[in-house]
């Protein structure tokens, strides 16, 4: 019998894991998918949001009745909106028409105040990221709120180290590779630290959009993959975290999202498509006696409506 939770925040973490059956290559490694859609808002970002707010409470930056500010493509904002709603904090979110409208609506329903920065035809670019950061800085100055500043906030790592510990337990220590796309770099960094704390030699693969491959030395560019690929090397990124940086295009990611839904019954966003493409490549390279783990970052329910950027139809 399931225990009674004291509040919805106690439902964050301890998400299930499933083996992929139909999209995996013949004679490749077993590929396991950590179902972060099992978190309360349907996203792994619940972990980081709770960790950042708890750290701000613990050191006295955030007091009862206070306010929080963040810039976000949506999932972090939804997760912060959930945490702030439960804890009674006001939340100002800087976001953009480049991101899924379902996420923006979700934040509003949870009580967040949204500040929309227009995009370049609905695309994620370095300029958009930097414009959102500056808008968040201005709102923080005007409101006196606590800026969680996700790209610079290492407090989030605690939430993702917990994910790494869950993965270790769920695989019984039988894991040879971990694959994760890079947004803030918090997830790949935290999970890698937890796994390597148990055993050396687990291969860590970070993934970025092929259209904007800045982590692997390429030029910044525009893409349509929510939640990853800021367009510049994010502050929390450390090259030694990953053994390899792989590149996956928006087109490849969208095609894999469709395959996951139709062949595995798994409905996810495009960052998950990126993860699975790269995980299958690693599975092919490691071979049938190995296990690769990657992440279903969030539910596809967040992406049902098309983006309509300003000036669009």
Q: What are the residue ranges spanned by the domains of the chain? A: 8-38+164-303, 45-147
What pLDDT, on the 0 to 100 scale, is given for residue 120? 87
What pLDDT, on the 0 to 100 scale, is given for residue 312? 39
> What global pTM score does this model have?
0.92
Contacts of 156 (CB under 8 A, 6+ apart): 47, 48, 51, 52, 150, 184, 186, 190
Kindly state the tokens that stand for 75. 């999932």
Q: Which whole number is the average pLDDT over 204-228?
A: 94
Kindly report the CATH number that applies to the domain delimited by 8-38+164-303: 3.40.50.1100
pLDDT band at 302 (very low <50, low <70, confident <90, very high): confident
What pLDDT, on the 0 to 100 scale, is given for residue 123? 85
Mean of the per-residue pLDDT values of the chain: 94
What pLDDT, on the 0 to 100 scale, is given for residue 241? 97
> Do 75 and 103 touch, CB atoms closer than 8 A?
yes
The CATH class that applies to domain 45-147 reads alpha beta
Kindly state the tokens that stand for 161. 């180290």
What pLDDT, on the 0 to 100 scale, is given for residue 303? 82
107 phi, psi to nearest 5 deg: -60, -45
- Please determine, for residue 263, whether its predicted confidence score (pLDDT) is greater than 80: yes
What pLDDT, on the 0 to 100 scale, is given for residue 309? 56
- Please determine, for residue 313, whether its predicted confidence score (pLDDT) is greater than 50: no
**Distance of alpha carbon 260 from alpha carbon 101, whole angstroms:** 22
What pLDDT, on the 0 to 100 scale, is given for residue 311? 43
Q: Which residue has the tokens 């701000």?
A: 56
Q: Which whole number is the average pLDDT over 104-128?
A: 92
């Amino acid at each position: 019998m399931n225990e009674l939770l004291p509040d919805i925040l106690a439902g964050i973490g301890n998400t299930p894991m499933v083996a992929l059956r139909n999209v995996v290559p013949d004679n490749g490694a077993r590929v396991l998918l950590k179902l972060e859609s099992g978190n309360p808002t349907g996203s792994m970002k619940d972990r980081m949001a709770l960790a950042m707010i708890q750290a701000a409470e613990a050191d006295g930056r955030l007091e009862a009745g206070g306010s929080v500010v963040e810039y976000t493509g949506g999932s972090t904002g939804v997760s912060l909106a959930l945490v702030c709603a439960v804890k009674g904090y006001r939340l100002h979110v800087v976001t953009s028409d480049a991101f899924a409208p379902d996420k923006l609506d979700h934040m509003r329903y949870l009580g967040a105040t949204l500040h929309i920065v227009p995009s370049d035809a609905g695309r994620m670019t370095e300029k958009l990221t930097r414009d959102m950061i500056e808008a968040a800085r201005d709102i923080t100055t005007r409101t006196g709120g606590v800026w969680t500043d996700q790209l610079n906030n290492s407090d989030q790592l605690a939430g993702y180290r917990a994910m790494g510990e869950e993965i270790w337990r769920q695989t019984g220590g039988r894991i040879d590779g971990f694959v994760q796309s890079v947004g803030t770099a918090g997830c790949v960094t935290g999970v890698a630290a937890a796994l390597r704390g148990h055993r050396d030699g687990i291969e860590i693969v970070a993934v970025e959009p092929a259209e904007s491959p800045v982590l692997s030395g390429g030029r910044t560019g525009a893409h349509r993959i929510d939640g990853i690929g800021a367009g510049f090397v994010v502050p929390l990124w450390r090259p030694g975290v990953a053994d390899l940086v792989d590149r996956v295009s928006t087109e490849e990611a969208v095609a894999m999202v469709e395959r996951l839904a139709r062949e595995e019954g798994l409905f996810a966003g495009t960052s998950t498509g990126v993860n699975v493409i790269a995980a299958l490549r690693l599975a092919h390279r490691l071979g049938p006696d190995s296990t690769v783990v990657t992440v279903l970052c969030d539910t596809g329910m967040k992406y049902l409506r098309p983006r309509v950027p300003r000036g669009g139809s």
